[in-house]
C-alpha cells in the first residue's frame, strides 16, 4: 500500500536505518539520526540505480510523488534522472549555502570532467545513501567535525572501509570548493583519516608465475568452454588488458589486418585513448570468432537479449573449469604479463604502456608516447614465449630474447642448463 502523510510524519529513527515503500519506485529512507529523505529506485541501461529527491518535510509526500512522475517520464524517454535530475525545489538557487547544493555543484563538475559512468554511479549512490541524509540540509558554515565523523561512522559500521576512504576524499573536495567560493572558512573533513578505521591492505589478484604457466596453458588449450568465452580468456592473457575492456571490445575497434585494437578515452579507466597490439595467435582466434559474432556490435556478446556482453564472471569461469579457481583470474593475467616481461628484460616504459598505466606527476601529463612498434614486438614475443612454455620449447626463446637475469637469479647460460 502507498504511504500516507500520517505514516511519513510518524516514522521515527531506530537503531538501524530503514525504508518505507510508497509506489512507483519511491520510498522514504529513515536514517539513524532521524533525517528522512526521499529516494527513487529505477532501472536504466540495464542497471539498478537510485537518486535522492531531498529530505522531509522540505519535500512533502505529494511533491516527492510529482518528482517521481517526472523521473519516470525521463526514464521512459531514455534520459537518466541521475544525470538530468528533476528539480526538488524551485526555491533553491546557486547561492544556496547548504551542503546539498555544494555537493550538487561538485558532482556536476565530476560529470563535466568526463568521469566514467561506473564511478559517477558510485559517487551518486553513496552521496544519496550516506552523506546527504546527514549533511544535506545543513548550512556549510554550521557543519562541524562531529557531523563529518558521523558520516564516516556510517560506512565503518558496515565495514565499508574502502568506500569510507573514497568518501573522505569527496568530503574534503566539496568543502574545499565551498571555501574557495567563500561559503565557509574551514574544512571540517580535513582530519577524518586520523581517527578512521584502517582499511585492509590490498592483495594482488590471483595470478601465475612462469614455472606454473606450462600446465595452465596446456589445460587452457584443452578447455571445453564455448568459443566466445575461450577467446575472451585468451585475449585477456595475450593483451594484458583489463577484463572489463575485453568484455566490451567492439568489432569496430579491431583492425585485424594491422593487428591493432584501438580503445577510446571514454572507455578507458585513465580517460586516455589506448592502442594495443594484437599478436598473430590472437588475430587467428578473433578471425575465427568473427564468423560467429561478427554481426554483433560487441566481440563477446552476452547470451540472450538481456546482456549486451558476456558477464564479468565469464573469463574467471573459464579458468575455474580447467582447475584454476582462486589460482588465476582475468585481472591476474596483467600481473603475470608484467612480471614475466620485466623478468625477461623488456623495457619498463613499454610494459607500463601496455598495461595502460599512467606515470604520476608531471611525467604522466607530458609523456604521450605510445611505443607502438616496440610493444608490437614485445607482445608478439610474449605470445610466442607462452606457446613455447606450453610446448616445452622455451629454452630457445630465452636464449634469443631474454636480456637479463631470470627469477632464479641465474644467467641465461645457467638457466638453459637448468631447463
Burial 55-91 (b: 16+ CB within 10 A, else e): bbebbebebbbebbeebbebbeeeebbbeebbebeee
Please tell me the distance from the alpha carbon of residue 386 to that of residue 381, in angstroms, as a whole number: 9
**Residue that has been written with the C-alpha cell 556482453 in this structure:** 309
Active site residue 296: no
**Residue that has been written with the C-alpha cell 585485424 in this structure:** 256
- Please name which of 41, 35, 43 lies closest in space to residue 18, comparing C-alpha atoms: 35
Q: Is the peptide bond before 97 cis (omega within 30 degrees of 0)?
A: no
Q: Do 82 and 121 touch, CB atoms closer than 8 A?
A: yes
Question: Quick one: DSSP state of residue 129?
Answer: I
Active-site hit among 242, 274, 375, 390:
242
Q: Do 332 and 208 touch, CB atoms closer than 8 A?
A: yes
Active-site hit among 105, 115, 177, 269:
269
Active site residue 357: yes
Instruction: Please compute, for residue 139, the number of CA atoms within 13 A of its CA located in the half-sphere on the CB side.
Output: 8
Active-site hit among 331, 335, 344, 375:
331
Active site residue 186: no
Please tell me the distance from the alpha carbon of residue 295 to that of residue 207, in angstroms, as a whole number: 34
Please tell me the distance from the alpha carbon of residue 404 to that of residue 224, in angstroms, as a whole number: 37
Active-site hit among 295, 366, 368, 403:
366
Please tell me the distance from the alpha carbon of residue 150 to that of residue 141, in angstroms, as a whole number: 17
Please tell me the distance from the alpha carbon of residue 49 to that of residue 82, in angstroms, as a whole number: 8
| Type and span of the H or E element at 55 | strand 47-56
Active-site hit among 181, 357, 371, 376:
357
Give Rg (Cα) of the chain: 26
Active site residue 403: no
Active site residue 297: no
| Type and span of the H or E element at 382 | helix 372-391
Please tell me the distance from the alpha carbon of residue 214 to that of residue 320, in angstroms, as a whole number: 16
Which residue stretches of 113-226 are H helix?
117-126, 132-135, 145-157, 161-180, 192-195, 213-221
- Region of 81 please: left (phi>0), alpha (psi -120 to 50) or beta: alpha
Active site residue 376: no
Specify burial of residue 219 (Cβ count, 10 A radius: 0-12, 13-18, 19+): middle
Catalytic residue annotation:
242, 269, 331, 334, 357, 366
Amino acid at each position: 500500500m502507498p504511504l500516507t502523510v500520517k505514516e511519513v510524519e510518524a516514522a521515527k529513527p531506530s537503531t538501524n536505518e530503514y525504508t518505507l515503500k510508497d509506489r512507483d519506485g519511491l520510498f522514504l529512507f529513515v536514517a539513524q539520526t532521524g533525517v528522512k529523505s526521499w529516494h527513487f529506485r529505477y532501472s536504466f541501461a540495464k542497471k539498478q540505480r537510485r537518486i535522492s529527491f531531498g529530505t522531509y518535510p522540505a519535500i512533502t509526500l505529494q511533491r516527492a510523488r510529482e518528482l517521481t512522475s517526472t523521473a519516470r517520464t525521463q526514464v521512459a524517454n531514455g534520459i537518466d534522472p541521475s544525470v538530468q535530475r528533476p528539480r526538488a525545489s524551485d526555491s533553491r538557487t546557486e547561492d544556496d549555502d547548504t551542503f546539498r547544493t555544494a555537493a550538487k555543484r561538485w558532482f556536476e563538475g565530476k560529470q563535466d570532467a568526463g568521469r566514467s559512468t561506473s564511478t559517477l554511479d558510485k559517487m551518486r549512490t553513496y552521496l544519496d545513501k550516506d552523506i546527504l541524509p546527514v549533511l544535506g540540509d545543513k548550512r556549510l558554515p554550521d557543519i562541524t567535525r562531529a557531523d563529518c565523523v558521523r558520516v564516516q561512522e556510517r560506512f565503518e559500521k558496515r565495514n565499508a572501509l574502502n568506500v569510507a576512504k573514497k568518501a573522505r576524499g569527496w568530503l574534503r573536495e566539496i568543502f574545499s570548493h565551498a571555501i574557495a567560493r567563500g561559503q565557509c572558512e574551514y574544512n571540517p573533513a580535513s582530519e577524518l583519516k586520523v581517527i578512521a578505521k584502517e582499511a585492509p591492505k590490498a592483495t594482488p589478484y590471483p595470478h601465475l608465475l612462469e614455472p606454473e604457466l606450462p600446465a595452465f596453458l596446456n589445460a587452457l588449450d584443452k578447455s571445453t568452454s564455448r568459443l566466445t568465452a575461450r577467446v575472451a580468456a585468451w585475449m585477456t592473457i595475450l593483451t594484458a588488458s583489463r577484463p572489463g575492456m575485453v568484455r566490451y571490445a567492439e568489432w569496430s575497434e579491431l583492425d585485424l589486418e594491422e593487428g591493432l585494437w584501438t580503445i577510446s578515452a571514454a572507455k578507458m579507466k585513465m580517460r586516455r585513448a589506448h592502442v594495443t597490439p594484437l599478436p598473430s595467435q590472437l588475430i587467428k582466434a578473433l578471425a575465427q570468432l568473427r564468423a560467429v559474432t561478427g554481426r554483433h556490435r560487441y566481440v563477446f556478446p552476452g547470451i540472450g537479449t538481456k546482456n549486451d556482453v558476456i558477464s564479468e564472471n565469464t573469463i574467471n569461469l573459464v579458468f575455474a573449469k580447467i582447475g584454476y579457481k582462486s589460482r588465476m583470474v582475468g585481472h591476474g593475467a596483467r600481473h603475470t604479463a608484467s612480471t614475466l616481461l620485466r623478468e625477461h628484460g623488456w623495457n619498463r616504459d613499454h610494459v607500463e604502456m601496455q598495461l595502460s598505466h599512467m606515470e604520476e606527476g608531471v611525467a604522466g601529463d607530458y609523456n604521450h608516447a605510445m611505443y607502438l612498434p616496440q610493444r608490437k614486438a614485445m607482445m608478439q614475443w610474449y605470445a610466442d614465449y607462452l606457446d613455447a612454455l606450453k610446448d616445452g620449447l622455451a629454452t630457445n626463446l630465452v636464449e634469443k630474447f631474454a636480456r637479463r637475469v631470470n627469477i632464479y637469479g641465474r644467467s641465461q647460460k645457467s638457466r638453459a642448463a637448468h631447463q
